[in-house]
Structures are given as structure tokens and as C-alpha cells.
Amino acid sequence: MPGLIGKKIGMTSMYNTDGKNVACTIIQAGPCVVTQVKTEAKDGYNAVQLGFGERKEKHTPAPMKGHFKKAKTSPKRKLVEFSGFEQELKLGDEIGVDLFMEGEFIDVEGRTKGKGFQGVVKRHGFGGVGQATHGQHNRGRAPGSIGAASYPARVFKGMRMAGQMGNDKITFENNEVLKIIPEQSLLIVRGSVPGPNGSYVILERN
């Protein structure tokens, strides 16, 4: 699907047409530069690679310097492939926030905040042991039994236990575009989107 690369700026609230105060997220959407055009004849499929975010040239590998030089643009930090653009694009073309329209619904993909190693109460919402008397000692946030001994004599796959939480790539679907500010390449969508402020997100049409 056609889309753009953006950066999450932060959250705020605004009044919609019905006069209700709704939470929304501000995203800097583009402008993105076409860094590669893939065709079915050469690559086996049709796609357009877009670049977003400036990257220092001294931190860019030599092969990538040539890649960006071919597109006549500066090194970019984030590269993503999209397909389904109606217009014919060539190397060096810029695509801005005007790709979207106010009122339409888009999908926003990002990486959630990493929480590190967490226990079952925070990670899975376990309630913990309710009883705190009769000799109960430091087991309030423990997971409890994870299986029987003699049979099945193993722990089933998918057992909810402590472990790494967050830092997952997820997609929030059907986010309504409330407002577009083309002069500043800003896109305001209803609700929240994954990731911390300053993180990259991928915006796609449904």
C-alpha cells in the first residue's frame, strides 16, 4: 500500500467537528525521498523505496553512500519499501504529507516502548495472591504453578511467565486523520500510536 515514513512528535488533544475533546498524536510525515525504484522485470516485483531522516555521512557505509548518491540525495536514516502509488515515481522525487487527506483512515506501524525484564503481574496482568495472612510470605507477585510433575512432566509452550516486555513491532489500524498541516509536514491522527516520542513510524493507507 502507498504510504510514508514519519516520526512521532508527541500527543495532545483537540476538538473535533462534534465539539468533543479527543486525544490525538502529532506525527511529522515526510517529506520522503525516492531512493530506489524496483520493477518486476529487474527485481521480480514492483516497489518504491523511500528514505526519511538525515544521517551523518561519516556514519554511512560506503555502499550506502553510492546508493544515495545515485538518487541525488543526502544519506537517510530510515528506508522503507512501499507499493501501490498511482503516480509514476523516479529517483530523487519527494513525497509529502499531501499524500493523505483529512478524514481518511490510515494504519500506523511502529515499535512499542521497551520495558525490559518484567514479572507476570506487570507483563500479563496477574492479580497475585489475594491472601496476605496465615503465614503468607513474599509470594504476592509470584506466578504460581506452571504445570504438573508426573504428567505432562513439562511446561507447555506459550505459558505466561516473566520475561522481556515491549519492544514489539505492532500496527494500529484505522487511525483517523484529524488534521494536516502541510507547511510543517505534520499529520494529526486520532488516538495513540506505538512507540516513544522521536521514534519512526510507518504510515499506510488501508
Per-residue tens of pLDDT for the chain, all 206 residues? 788 999 999 999 988 778 889 999 999 987 999 988 888 888 888 889 999 988 898 998 999 889 888 888 888 899 999 888 888 888 888 888 888 888 899 999 999 999 999 999 999 998 876 667 777 777 788 888 899 999 999 999 999 999 999 999 999 999 999 989 988 989 999 999 999 999 999 999 87
Locate 135 and state its grid cell: 503465614
The span from the CA of 40 to the CA of 5, in Å, is 23
Residue 62 maps to a domain: yes
Residue 8 maps to a domain: yes
Q: State the pLDDT at residue 130.
A: 65
Domain containing 30: what range?
Answer: 3-114+170-205
Residue 145 maps to a domain: no
The span from the CA of 48 to the CA of 112, in Å, is 26
CA dihedral 56, 62, 63, 69 (to 10 degrees): 60
Q: Look at the chain and report how many structural domains it folds into.
A: 1
- Contact in structure between 48 and 71 (CB atoms under 8 Å): no
- Contact in structure between 174 and 206 (CB atoms under 8 Å): yes
Strands 163-166 and 169-181: unpaired
The span from the CA of 46 to the CA of 109, in Å, is 21
Exposure string of 115-140, with b = 16+ CB inside 10 Å and e = fewer, is eeeebbeebeebeeeeeeeeeeeeee
The span from the CA of 202 to the CA of 76, in Å, is 15
Residue 151 maps to a domain: no
Residue 70 maps to a domain: yes
Residue 131 maps to a domain: no
The span from the CA of 151 to the CA of 140, in Å, is 27
pTM of the model: 0.82
Query: Of 204, 7, 186, nearest to 106 (Cα)?
Result: 204
Residue 161 maps to a domain: no
The span from the CA of 50 to the CA of 48, in Å, is 6
Residue 162 maps to a domain: no
CATH at residue 72? 2.40.30.10
Exposure string of 87-103, with b = 16+ CB inside 10 Å and e = fewer, is eeeeeebebebebbeee
